[in-house]
Chains A and B, each alone.
Chain A
Amino acid sequence: MAMIYASLIAPFADFEFMRRALVGTCALALGAGPVGVFLMLRRMSLMGDAMSHAILPGAAAGFLIAGLSLSAMTAGGLIAGFAVALLAGLVARTTELKEDASLAAFFLISLALGVTLVSLRGGNIDLMHFLFGSVLALDDATLLLIAAVASLTLLALALIWRPLVLECVDPNFLRSVSRAGGPAHVAFLALVVMNLVGAFYALGTLLAVGLMMLPAAVARFWTRDITAMMVVAVVTGLLSSLIGLLLSFDAGLPAGPAVILVAGVLYLASVLFGRVGGLARRLAPRRHLEA
């Protein structure tokens, strides 16, 4: 009992920065998990990646104008993320270029522009923090922002749940019975950008999608039911946060990458042993027939 306390509870009981990091990453997991599942089911995983990079120049522009100001960087990030989401869709719809290629183009432009802007004002330390975040140094304002994003995400998903699920399952049917698809799609993109901006502060632009896409991919291997997938994704995110932070505490690994690595390990385990379409499942029945 004492050992369990010492290894699982004490780090959080003794150190405020651990509590803050845990609250921050758990709030992220709550919001980003479900959003990630929808992104994955709609084959928009790459979109999440592109948008997380798009946030960098926006946040950097805010940084350039106002320094390390949460409101300026958040506003910039939201605007830039949303702009790239819409522009990439527009280019794909109105030109010959396929959406994945146009996303790749925008993701490169954003990253280059973002790095340029950050370097104009700051040194390379600032740049490292923009790219990898600072999960061990979350202040009150940042935590409030992340928690607000998570709450808003869950509320909004409850509201637009039906059109979103329908669009994953049968977009043609949705179009024939309702005109909610368009607005729901835009609202959903806004949720993606918001969650990525929240994750940007904790994990940085390069890892922000980690708590969004990895838990979603894990969920895909355990159930076919969308609601259950959301639950699995959220639980995966929460577990990754907890174990990742404890690993960072015990083994001295950098905190943000540790959280994402744990999610990555859970993903690999799911690929191998997942109940739905995991490798072991696919191979096992044949062996049973032979025996």
Chain B
Amino acid sequence: MSRVQIVLACLACLASLTAPAAAQDPQAKTVVTVVASFSILADLVRNVGGERIAVSALVGPDGDAHVYEPTPADSKRIAAATLVVVNGLGYEGWIDRLVAASGSKAPVVVASAGVTPRAGEGGHGHAAEDPHAWQSAANAKRYVANIRDALIRIDPPGRDLYAANAAAYLARLDALDAEIRQSLATIPAERRRVITGHDAFGYFGDAYGIAFLSPQGVSTEAEPSARDLARLITQIRAEKISAVFLENVIDPRLVRQIARETGVRIGGTLVSDALTGPGGLAPTYVALMRHNAHTLRAALSD
């Protein structure tokens, strides 16, 4: 056990060294300091808050918030924040302890409030809620509305700006939703079954009509067992699966093994639980959804 503790201690020290200092705009325009739990939320908050807020994400680009280990620097950032935005639905299991321990008085907003949760098919029989609600543009609109309301509550003088920004961004999300539907509409019904590394695309699948199967369940926390992997491979052989996809937050080797063993093609990389860096496939939420739709379409329509 002590070795695991050592590992955790190393992680904590390391992250406190490398964590970026809380983004603070030297210009006095910044009124609200927001800490979001992960990169996708931070992007949504930035779009609503604009110049009035400074936002930073605890789990940065390409990081996995399922198994994140918070650091002292995170605690400091939360203590200094005026608003904390989390996904909820059990996604960030570590956030409550962190907020409590930081002594922060900032309100915690659950961005997914009001979203109809999907039951996750946890590999071990317990049906937890699937937290990856942002994977449908309609849900993202719910997130944006929640974030807008929270910002207005905490900073009433900024009401007009937040409302205008949110309205503009909601319109973009509507356009995005229509674009994805149109892009995927031409895929024939029998090609709409695919494999991903972990169960992150349930909401996407429900919204846009694609069935996603995965070896790892809704969290990346669990190590897949041989049984889970065997079940999935049996299922792939029995049903018609069109392609397997890699994910930006998942080790590609397991998915490659599945592709090798079943002869199913690798369709590309989907971006699931985190944005990529600025030069990557999906530096913003809109780019993420667009990239995933493109990748699916390219792999499934030929």
A: residues with CB less than 8 A from B are 11, 14-18, 20-21, 68, 108, 111-112, 115-116, 119-120, 122-129, 131-132, 134, 136-139, 206, 245, 248-258
A258 to B223, CA, bound (A): 11
Determine the chain A residues whose CB is within 8 A of the CB of B207 once the complex forms. none
CB-CB nearest in chain B for A121? B62
Q: For window 257-294 of chain B, which residues contact chain A by CB distance below 8 Å?
A: 257-258, 260-261, 274
CB-CB nearest in chain B for A254? B223
Task: Determine if B254 and A248 form an interchain contact, defined as CB atoms under 8 angstroms apart.
Answer: no
Determine the chain A residues whose CB is within 8 A of the CB of B123 once the complex forms. 252
Task: Determine if B6 and A125 form an interchain contact, defined as CB atoms under 8 angstroms apart.
Answer: no
Q: For window 1-44 of chain B, which residues contact chain A by CB distance below 8 Å?
A: 3-4, 6-7, 10-11, 13-15, 18
A72 to B163, CA, bound (A): 52
A245 to B226, CA, bound (A): 7
Task: Determine if B64 and A112 form an interchain contact, defined as CB atoms under 8 angstroms apart.
Answer: no
Q: Which of A18, A112, A132 contacts B10 (CB 8 A)?
A: A112
Task: Determine if B253 and A115 form an interchain contact, defined as CB atoms under 8 angstroms apart.
Answer: no
Determine the chain B residues whose CB is within 8 A of the CB of A255 once the complex forms. 223, 225-226
A238 to B192, CA, bound (A): 42
A257 to B225, CA, bound (A): 10
Determine the chain A residues whose CB is within 8 A of the CB of B228 once the complex forms. 252
19 further contact pairs, Cβ within 8 A, besides A17-B233, A123-B62: A11-B226, A15-B229, A17-B230, A123-B64, A123-B274, A124-B69, A125-B67, A125-B249, A127-B11, A136-B229, A137-B251, A137-B253, A137-B256, A206-B3, A250-B227, A252-B227, A252-B228, A254-B225, A257-B223
- Shortest C-beta distance, B149 to chain A (Å), equals 32
Q: Which of B4, B69, B250, B253 contacts A68 (CB 8 A)?
A: B253
Determine the chain B residues whose CB is within 8 A of the CB of A131 once the complex forms. 7
A136 to B225, CA, bound (A): 8
Determine the chain A residues whose CB is within 8 A of the CB of B15 once the complex forms. 119
B4, B222, B223 — which one has the most chain A CB atoms within 10 A of its CB?
A: B223
Task: Determine if B226 and A137 form an interchain contact, defined as CB atoms under 8 angstroms apart.
Answer: no
Determine the chain B residues whose CB is within 8 A of the CB of A14 once the complex forms. 230, 234
B158 close to A (CB within 8 Å): no
Task: Determine if B261 and A123 form an interchain contact, defined as CB atoms under 8 angstroms apart.
Answer: no
Determine the chain B residues whose CB is within 8 A of the CB of A126 once the complex forms. 251
Determine the chain A residues whose CB is within 8 A of the CB of B107 once the complex forms. none
CB-CB nearest in chain B for A11? B230
Task: Determine if A248 and B261 form an interchain contact, defined as CB atoms under 8 angstroms apart.
Answer: no
Q: Which of B3, B64, B229 contacts A124 (CB 8 A)?
A: B64
Determine the chain B residues whose CB is within 8 A of the CB of A125 once the complex forms. 64, 67, 220, 249-251
A127 to B15, CA, bound (A): 13
Interface of B is mostly: helix
Determine the chain A residues whose CB is within 8 A of the CB of B249 once the complex forms. 123, 125
B: residues with CB less than 8 A from A are 3-4, 6-7, 10-11, 13-15, 18, 62-64, 67-69, 123-124, 220, 222-230, 233-234, 249-254, 256-258, 260-261, 274
Task: Determine if A139 and B230 form an interchain contact, defined as CB atoms under 8 angstroms apart.
Answer: no
A138 to B251, CA, bound (A): 12
Task: Determine if A124 and B226 form an interchain contact, defined as CB atoms under 8 angstroms apart.
Answer: no
Determine the chain B residues whose CB is within 8 A of the CB of A139 once the complex forms. 253, 256-257, 260
- Given known pairs A68-B252, A124-B67, A248-B226, the reply for A115 and B261 (CB within 8 Å) is no
CB-CB nearest in chain A for B198? A125
A21, A131, A137 — which one has the most chain B CB atoms within 10 A of its CB?
A: A137
Task: Determine if B261 and A116 form an interchain contact, defined as CB atoms under 8 angstroms apart.
Answer: no
Q: Which of B63, B68, B233, B251 contacts A134 (CB 8 A)?
A: B251
Task: Determine if B67 and A134 form an interchain contact, defined as CB atoms under 8 angstroms apart.
Answer: no
A111 to B251, CA, bound (A): 21
A137 to B226, CA, bound (A): 10
- Shortest C-beta distance, B215 to chain A (Å), equals 9
Determine the chain B residues whose CB is within 8 A of the CB of A68 once the complex forms. 252-253
Task: Determine if B13 and A16 form an interchain contact, defined as CB atoms under 8 angstroms apart.
Answer: no
CB-CB nearest in chain A for B255? A137
B220, B226, B228 — which one has the most chain A CB atoms within 10 A of its CB?
A: B226
Determine the chain B residues whose CB is within 8 A of the CB of A129 once the complex forms. 251, 253
Q: Which of B6, B18, B69 contacts A108 (CB 8 A)?
A: B6
Determine the chain A residues whose CB is within 8 A of the CB of B18 once the complex forms. 119-120
- Shortest C-beta distance, B229 to chain A (Å), equals 6
B124, B228, B274 — which one has the most chain A CB atoms within 10 A of its CB?
A: B228
Determine the chain A residues whose CB is within 8 A of the CB of B68 once the complex forms. 124
Determine the chain A residues whose CB is within 8 A of the CB of B227 once the complex forms. 248-252
A44 to B108, CA, bound (A): 53
Task: Determine if A124 and B224 form an interchain contact, defined as CB atoms under 8 angstroms apart.
Answer: no
CB-CB nearest in chain A for B221? A128
Task: Determine if B257 and A136 form an interchain contact, defined as CB atoms under 8 angstroms apart.
Answer: yes
CB-CB nearest in chain A for B257? A137
- Given known pairs A11-B230, A17-B261, the reply for A132 and B253 (CB within 8 Å) is no
Determine the chain B residues whose CB is within 8 A of the CB of A134 once the complex forms. 251, 253-254
6 chain-A/chain-B pairs, Cβ below 8 angstroms: A15-B261, A112-B13, A124-B11, A138-B257, A252-B227, A254-B225
Determine the chain A residues whose CB is within 8 A of the CB of B14 once the complex forms. 112, 115-116, 119
CB-CB nearest in chain A for B258? A17
